[in-house]
Amino acid sequence: MTAESISDAYRRLASAQKGHARGAPGYSVYINRRIGRFLAACAHRWGLTPNHATIISAAHTFAALVILLLVTPSAWGGIVVAVLLVLGYAWDSADGQLARLRGGGSLSGEWLDHFIDAFKLASIHLVVLVALWWHTPFRDTAWLVVPLVFSVVQVVTFFGMLLNDLLKGKVGVRSTHSRGGGTLRRSMLLVPTDYGLLCLIFVLWGWLSVFLVMYTALCLLNGGFLLLAAVKWFREIRALESSDA
């Protein structure tokens, strides 16, 4: 166990913060990162590793998904699910910050982090679909298409971001999500694409009609973002080809 206190570790992280990534939306930057910073300081004091933080994040998310699957939608159930998802997301931020406290991360840790991210993005919407089918009057309605579309949108967006950065890295170009390029205005405009906002709307799970309206709105906004981003990413990659010619 490290001798450094939680408050000292927190201050060390706070003083070493870099600019946020250009594509980082507001909740992730101004709320989730700060919760994650506190959790990282606690984890550092307790002697946990970044991989431990990633596994804790996955456990919180998995617990939320199990509740969605097995428990009839209710106000209290939605609050519990939202809290678990929010904590899972905060621990996801904590693993990288904990790695910085310990002097740097590892390739295997980065792989595990991205693997868990891909799992949660693919599964959360499919779990919503199954929960709506099992537990609600919406089982034979067009609402069931929404989580299918949302799952495709978020998985493709995640893959597109990783692929874009991978291809840029092959030619020595800075990542699309490099630190230091973000602004407050940009972060606020991107809030609808924030996974943290998706976590929060599950507080409406006990009021399914309201939840589905909000959930569908997020799906449409994320779909619009993907279309615009895909055009931008393709043009960037094409420009790299032209510069190499």
Give the orientation angle of helix 33-46 with respect to helix 75-101, to 10 degrees. Answer: 60
Q: What is the CATH number of the domain that holds 175?
A: 1.20.120.1760
Residue 144 is predicted with a pLDDT of 96
pLDDT tens by residue, 147-201: 999 999 999 999 999 998 888 888 877 665 555 555 666 777 788 889 999 999 9
> Residues with Cβ < 8 Å from 110, sequence gap 6 or more?
none
In a domain, residue 1? The reply is no
Residue 178's pLDDT is what?
Answer: 52
Domain count within the chain:
1
Burial, 199: exposed, middle or buried (Cβ in 10 Å; 0-12, 13-18, 19+)? buried
Q: Are 186 and 22 in contact (CB under 8 A)?
A: yes
Report CA-CA distances (Å) from 236 to 22, 156, 169, 230, 241: 15, 18, 13, 10, 9
> Tokens representing 105?
């991360």
- Give the contacts of 174 (CB within 8 A, at least 6 positions apart): 168
**30 lies in some domain:** yes
| Tokens encoding 218 | 């997020």
* Cβ(36)–Cβ(97) below 8 Å: yes
| pTM of the predicted protein model | 0.89
- Position 13 in a domain: yes
Q: Is residue 114 part of a domain?
A: yes
pLDDT of residue 1: 42
What is the Cα–Cα distance from 97 to 100, expressed in whole angstroms? 5
CA distance 146 to 143: 6
Which pLDDT score, from 0 to 100, does residue 96 have?
A: 87
Tokens 């300081």 belong to which residue?
41
Helix/strand/coil for 21? strand
Q: Taking a C-beta distance cutoff of 8 angstroms, is the pair 52, 211 a contact?
A: no
- Rounded to the nearest 10 degrees, the angle between the axes of helix 6-15 and helix 75-101 is 80
pLDDT tens string, the chain, 245 residues long: the values are: 445 788 877 777 776 565 556 667 878 888 999 999 999 989 988 889 999 999 999 999 999 999 999 999 999 999 999 999 999 999 999 988 888 887 777 888 889 999 999 999 999 999 999 999 999 999 989 999 999 999 999 999 999 999 988 888 888 776 655 555 556 667 777 888 899 999 999 999 999 999 999 999 999 999 999 999 999 999 988 888 776 65
Q: How far, rounded to the nearest angstrom, does the alpha carbon of residue 86 sit from its chain's CA centroid?
A: 10
State residue 16's pLDDT score: 59
Q: ∠ at Cα 229 (95, 175), nearest 5°?
A: 45
Helices 33-46 and 6-15 meet at what angle, rounded to 10?
A: 140
**What range does the domain containing 50 cover?**
6-244
